[in-house]
Structure 1
């Protein structure tokens, strides 16, 4: 596919405002069959997400060998670290992904090539702000989460190391977003999987010591994590500024405009609220389930491990949907953008619904993998029977959240996420006051998932945000 200009990208010059783009990945975003394009991109995107989850589990495995205090201390830090990654990668990073794809769809090569510099320009202050926030409020947060004694001391040491390098986390994820916005998901797979391979020997080496390297204890895992982010950032920088891909960022910082940065921050800010509301919802559900006893809590914990797969799998589908929608809107291909949104919504809902239904059918076998206590198994089975059939609404809502990033209309997804959190908070509280059964608590969880999926679906049905950019409003397909 040729978009407005000469036939070969090598013939173009980086300073040209609108130029030719001939690239297989851009061709796929704008011209290949929608369903096949989404599925082809979903496989590597899901791989990146799942490998990152496994990297976190790997670190826990090594640190657990240092004892309960070490495990508890690091566990206190993980939710905040996970939230930082989610906000930098999926929220703010989503703003960069969709902005790059939209600019390429319009044929604005120079604009698209400026976004790696926007990534750097945003990563530095946001990373420093994250470091300052955690240095100032981290101790209060960890104490409020129940940290005390040796475990609190370890959490503070680990937090100081990890969040001291928060700028690396932000830079890594925002540069990766610039790469992903071009439709290149192969490089992120290579970088993330290479990092995972590196961490297998590096984490235990730094934690336990060896080969002349002193044992750093729990903070060794944090140091290994930052080394991984630093090397990954370097790999993305070499790729981008070495002009090995579609983008051609200038060697020195250009004059950056305020409007694109504000657009990215607006998308990232609303997306961060949605991500945070999901964490709040899970925390509230855990608290309410815990009021029914330790067996109920243990059963819910075992069952919800299956639910943890929903986010990486849903984002695995939703991320590519956002890319196709963004590029299509930039190119003025409105019907293609809508078709991509509907196709992605169906795929996301179908995949997560299948996980939930299989989990419900094999609930006893799944819970039995983690515990053999009859009361615990019963509670876990009950959760998967009550909530599993509604997993599809979560996948639907998450894909539509990615569509909202692409259309820059995130209000419906925000309303869905906040409604879900409200149901978890108010519904769970009322049921607790009424001494309701565990079944009713789980049905409240299901109702929240339905709200998360159905509220933004109404926006898609009304075509909210599916408008051509002014520069390409006359283009049709």
Structure 2
């Protein structure tokens, strides 16, 4: 005797998910801006604070391995953050914006096809990064000025992290798709769990907790790779099984160059912006390395906090990208601009507050990783915070407007602002270290001035240029 089939259940669930997705899109383009932005950003910010805690924990575990490990982490850290910034911010933001614009224009089929294109792009870029770091990583760390042991520590980390970065790329691409539908809680929950798992796994594999082997620097890298792999499976499953409200029937047949172009046109410019930000940090790392291992360790802790501000800003920026993208898709450019300024001023206030606190009390951060006996490293870290942290608000403002510009599909001025930042940082540092006796203080003063320039350029561009030609 045949059993009764619950056939209507699956269509009903799909209809409910599609209805929820449509309701979220309406909120993005109709609901009051500040409360809606706060509601969307809150889970992201919470998840990003936990992700920042993961970065703090990683630095702490490295400090337990010794100053050489901490200096090695400083060498590889810009490349690690480049991976995160590209996959979640530059390309991830472009994915989210493309999906949001499609849904804002009521083109659900296009949003589903863009999702498939996003997965292909993520896997391809992960492969490129793995190959490049595998071939050139050690030479790059030597070029930065690391000593033999420091380069070995950085290489041990890189040779685990970058072959495994496909997990990070696919996880972040999938979470970006979900954010593009207006759903922020699920991606935030996944990132929160990934960050907690990463802390436990990194510490366990680096230091040999319980039955786990003590793998040192390689273990530090293995933790986030495994954690993102679990997160990626959860995020992809959420999308494929219809929970995001997207139907994939015929999506492969609809794939075209235009779909990839929709993501990569914005993503390429956003990636240039991200690369310029990372290159600026790399150049400063190379200059600081000339002052010795202790100075590199102290600066590395300062630069790490600067990078950790990026996930916090991303918490607000991801919500802005979706809101701006949906409003641009619906033709509501004035509302999109109001969203951009509301979120960006909030990001500047949060990050600027952290900066001012640490400018006055730098040991609140440095004391987590360095013993009082590490006087040279402490002095370098204190110098960084006193010269750079007061300008964090401009960094927060500029980066938040960068995320908003992704939603609008207008990335030229964010790239120009990053070029200005890089020029001021490099030229200023070379002038101040060559023609004055400031030494490290000169490098850090140039970094602070560069943040000021970065924030001002992009703010003026958005204020006076608007997004009158933003892509629908």
Aligned counterpart, 1:265: 264
- Larger deviation, residues 67-76 vs 192-201: 67-76
Aligned counterpart, 1:341: 340
> CA offset at residue 181 of structure 1?
1.1
Q: Tell me how far apart the structure 1 counterparts of residues 314 and 76 of structure 2 sit (CA, whole Å).
A: 23
- Larger deviation, residues 329-338 vs 48-57: 48-57
> CA offset at residue 118 of structure 1?
1.2
Aligned counterpart, 1:448: 450
Q: Tell me how far apart the structure 2 counterparts of residues 117 and 376 of structure 1 sit (CA, whole Å).
A: 47
Aligned counterpart, 1:418: 419
Q: 1:434 to 1:183 in 2, by over 3 A?
A: same
Q: 1:385 to 1:136 in 2, by over 3 A?
A: closer
Q: 1:121 to 1:454 in 2, by over 3 A?
A: same
Q: Tell me how far apart the structure 2 counterparts of residues 121 and 278 of structure 1 sit (CA, whole Å).
A: 25
Q: 1:121 to 1:306 in 2, by over 3 A?
A: closer
1:352-367 paired onto structure 2 within 5 Å: 352-362=351-361
1:88-167 paired onto structure 2 within 5 Å: 88-146=87-145, 152-153=151-152, 155-167=154-166
- Unaligned runs of 5+ residues in structure 1 are 1-8, 471-477
Aligned counterpart, 1:194: 193
Q: 1:331 to 1:312 in 2, by over 3 A?
A: same
Structure in which a larger fraction of residues adopt helix: 2
- Larger deviation, residues 113-122 vs 322-331: 113-122
Q: Contact 2:410/2:470 (CA < 8 Å) preserved in 1?
A: no
> CA offset at residue 233 of structure 1?
1.2
Q: Contact 1:363/1:384 (CA < 8 Å) preserved in 2?
A: yes
1:361-376 paired onto structure 2 within 5 Å: 361-362=360-361
1:31-110 paired onto structure 2 within 5 Å: 31-62=30-61, 65=64, 76-110=75-109
Q: Tell me how far apart the structure 2 counterparts of residues 300 and 147 of structure 1 sit (CA, whole Å).
A: 14
> CA offset at residue 338 of structure 1?
1.5
> CA offset at residue 36 of structure 1?
1.5
Aligned residues: 458
What is the alpha-carbon root mean square deviation over aligned residues?
Answer: 3.6
Greater RCO structure (CA 8 Å; 6+ sep) = 2
TM-score with structure 2 setting the length? 0.83
> CA offset at residue 430 of structure 1?
1.6
Q: Contact 2:67/2:297 (CA < 8 Å) preserved in 1?
A: no
Q: Tell me how far apart the structure 1 counterparts of residues 380 and 75 of structure 2 sit (CA, whole Å).
A: 26
1:177-188 paired onto structure 2 within 5 Å: 177-188=176-187
Deviations 1:423-469 (A, max 9, x none): 11112212222115366655433331222112122221234434476
Q: Tell me how far apart the structure 1 counterparts of residues 285 and 90 of structure 2 sit (CA, whole Å).
A: 24
> CA offset at residue 50 of structure 1?
3.0
Q: 1:320 to 1:255 in 2, by over 3 A?
A: same
Q: 1:54 to 1:365 in 2, by over 3 A?
A: closer
Q: 1:156 to 1:34 in 2, by over 3 A?
A: same
Q: Tell me how far apart the structure 1 counterparts of residues 385 and 465 of structure 2 sit (CA, whole Å).
A: 34
Deviations 1:177-197 (A, max 9, x none): 111111212112221222233
- Unaligned runs of 5+ residues in structure 2 are 1-10
TM-score with structure 1 setting the length? 0.83
Partner SS, residue 253 of structure 2: coil
Deviations 1:294-331 (A, max 9, x none): 89777766655654443222222222112111100101
Q: 1:254 to 1:121 in 2, by over 3 A?
A: farther
Deviations 1:139-176 (A, max 9, x none): 32233244565654554444333222232221111111
- Larger deviation, residues 231-240 vs 292-301: 292-301
Q: Tell me how far apart the structure 2 counterparts of residues 219 and 305 of structure 1 sit (CA, whole Å).
A: 19
Q: Tell me how far apart the structure 1 counterparts of residues 444 and 91 of structure 2 sit (CA, whole Å).
A: 32
Q: 1:130 to 1:302 in 2, by over 3 A?
A: closer
> CA offset at residue 29 of structure 1?
1.1
Q: 1:74 to 1:261 in 2, by over 3 A?
A: same
Aligned counterpart, 2:8: none
- Larger deviation, residues 151-160 vs 342-351: 151-160
Aligned counterpart, 2:4: none
Aligned counterpart, 2:238: 239
Deviations 1:318-357 (A, max 9, x none): 2211211110010112221121122123222222333333
Deviations 1:98-128 (A, max 9, x none): 0011111111111112222112211222222
Q: Tell me how far apart the structure 2 counterparts of residues 316 and 257 of structure 1 sit (CA, whole Å).
A: 31
